Amino acid sequence: MRINRKNKRFIYLISPTNIKNINFYNKLNQVLSSKKVSFFQLRLKKENRKKKIIIANKIRKICKKYQVKFLVNDDPIFAKKINADGCHLGQKDMSILKARKILKNKIIGITCHNSINLAKKAVADGASYLAFGAFYSSKTKKIKYKASLKILSLAKKLTNTPVVAIGGIKDTNYKKLLLNKANFLAISGYIWNNKKLNPKEAINKLI
């Protein structure tokens, strides 16, 4: 299966939900050195704010080194505080319009699940990218919404806003999403929780 792809940096990498081990930063360096990652999203659900700031500052420096955009999940105020490149919002988070007042012209992406109506609203509100999914089953996050490949073509007819595919993406299924015009693939568990491959080996299988 061959793909004509101008974008070699097609991976939108999401952090593990816990970052306790100092080895994580070495692994992140190795993964980002592949030059396949455009975005890195920090998604820590249970960490206190003080530790989140320490972790975020370390990751931001590594992202800058490899020219990767550093985003924060859910929290535009925190994104501004640590000088991230932007923020990702879920449907239950702050609105794009409010987040835009805080982050100005920085990146603000939004989850659209499997809904073209949510995508239309996000485009009207000035979202930087639209995230659809889940396309496949995932151990990282409980799936409430299942998306089909058809949503990608509908989104492409609607807008030029970049599209991010999410949910259970790995080396055996990622090409289908790229062939259906997803701009970026959001990946987490395949890289960080892979029982067969270390993070560097895992990302090297995505070509």
In a domain, 176, yes or no: yes
pTM: 0.95
pLDDT at 199: 98
The pair of three-digit structure tokens given for residue 76, joined into one six-digit string: 């535009």
Mean pLDDT on 181-204: 97
Could you report the per-residue pLDDT of 94-106, keeping only the tens digit for each? Answer: 999 999 999 999 9
Residue span of the structural domain in which 103 resides: 11-204
DSSP-derived 3-state class of residue 186: strand
| pLDDT for residue 34 is more than 50 | yes
In a domain, 84, yes or no: yes
In a domain, 118, yes or no: yes
| pLDDT for residue 52 is more than 50 | yes
CATH of the domain at 195: 3.20.20.70
- Helical H runs in the chain? 23-32, 49-65, 76-81, 96-103, 116-124, 150-158, 174-179, 189-192, 199-204
In a domain, 108, yes or no: yes
In a domain, 4, yes or no: no
